[in-house]
Amino acid sequence: MKKNDIIHLSITDISHDGSGIGKYEGMAVFVPLTAVGDVISARVLKVKKHYAFAKTEEIISPSKHRTNADCGVFTRCGGCAFRHIDYKSEAELKQNRVMQTMHRLGKTDLDPQPIICATSPDRYRNKALYPVSVGGELGFYSRHSHRSIPCGDCLLHPEVFYKAGDVFTSFVREYNISVYNEETHTGLLRHFYLRYGKNTDELMVGIVINGNSLPQSDTLVKKLKDALGDSLKSVILNVNTKKTNVVLGDKNILLSGREYIYDVLCGVKVRISPHSFYQVNHDMAERLYKKAAEYAQPQGKNILDLYCGAGTIGLSMAREARSVIGVEIVEAAVCDANINARENGINNSRFICGDAARAAEQLKHENISADVVILDPPRKGCEEALLKTVANDFSPQTIVYVSCDVATLSRDTVILEGLGYSLQEYTPVDLFPRTPHCEVVSKFVYKK
């Protein structure tokens, strides 16, 4: 097999990024936008030692799981991976991938609980970061590139996002405002940033700029207010003048309203700032947190919430718990977490700014004990040093691990097993329908 060969494939599995997998002469071939059960002819694009990449030339026999994609840019945009199959099949694929990965990498024979499927696979995202292209065009990066694809009314987003984006694009064109160029580090507009509180109908609009001011900003604010009405609670300029692919800079300039919006999650009023971590799917986050609480059994217990963000998961359990201590490295999120506790009248919680591993060491020296430790790390998972500190110094009876990457969860499962903790149960939760991502919440119990 070599580049540009046309080969015949039967798609039998799906990879972690949503590509279909077929076997040709014993070698795995990855083909995007295919479905299990497809029989296709494919053009080989790249051949490695043990696998290859290809693209579909013709669908000879379509999978029974196929459906008509309901988005005009689906095949070019990098946002969705599964708009060409029905949602039930997507959920089954995610369930199987979680199981296979935990068996293979997590070295466990335990099967997952049934996946908690989304209440709706559309209109669920409460956050969007659009790169700005020439003429103020908003879109998403194509797969494996920095080429922006105009998206129009994205079906993952609430309709108010499209309305706000349309106002912004018209404003950019009317006043001919320059757009940032990554190669030359010139131009002003970098990203258009939106956050939304589903239960409060509050909207934040952010404009990320390569500079310190936006021409005609008062005009933009007026146009946004006219179009969005009372939903618009915050308009912010975010200053990012660094040569970086990190979206947000450190400095925010308030143009209108508040520096934050509110939402309500699991009965807790939550304050959200531009830098705050907040789960992008409100309804499914509530279901995930309820599963985490089921695993934690927080009644009368001391809870240590590491990687706590704006404190949402710990605060959702605080009214039943004896105490909650949260740890988060983003200072703005810690500020929001402490305010969230105060505004909800929750007096048994405190939040610490710092690296999770170092903060855990600090709490150990304060002789802080924990009955339950909640781990909700970024995609890279937990540092082994942190897991050792949790297991050896806090020695909680229960660890509840919320993961956005089953591969790193599997790695950390092996480490935790070696530290005396047994995986008792784990449940996939589909927070990100139509994408390849899937959350998993797990319960580890100390082995006596």
- Whether 404 is a known active-site residue: answer yes
Cβ pair 55, 69 in contact under 8 A = no
Among candidates 343, 361, 341, which has minimal Cα distance to 351?
A: 341
Our CA dihedral for 168, 171, 177, 178, rounded to 10 degrees, sits at 30
Q: Which of 71, 80, 404, 438 is catalytic?
A: 404
Cβ pair 442, 396 in contact under 8 A = no
Our CA dihedral for 389, 392, 394, 396, rounded to 10 degrees, sits at 120
DSSP string of 116-151, one letter each residue: B--S-SSS-BSEEEEEB-GGG-BEEEBTTSS-EEE-
Count CB-CB contacts under 10 A for residue 285. 24
CA distances to 151, 309, 346, 353 from 306, in Å: 36, 9, 18, 11
CA 236, distance to chain mean position in Å, is 22
CA distances to 326, 334, 338, 346 from 318, in Å: 11, 16, 13, 7
CA distances to 197, 232, 310, 333, 413 from 278, in Å: 10, 19, 7, 9, 25
Positions marked active-site: 404
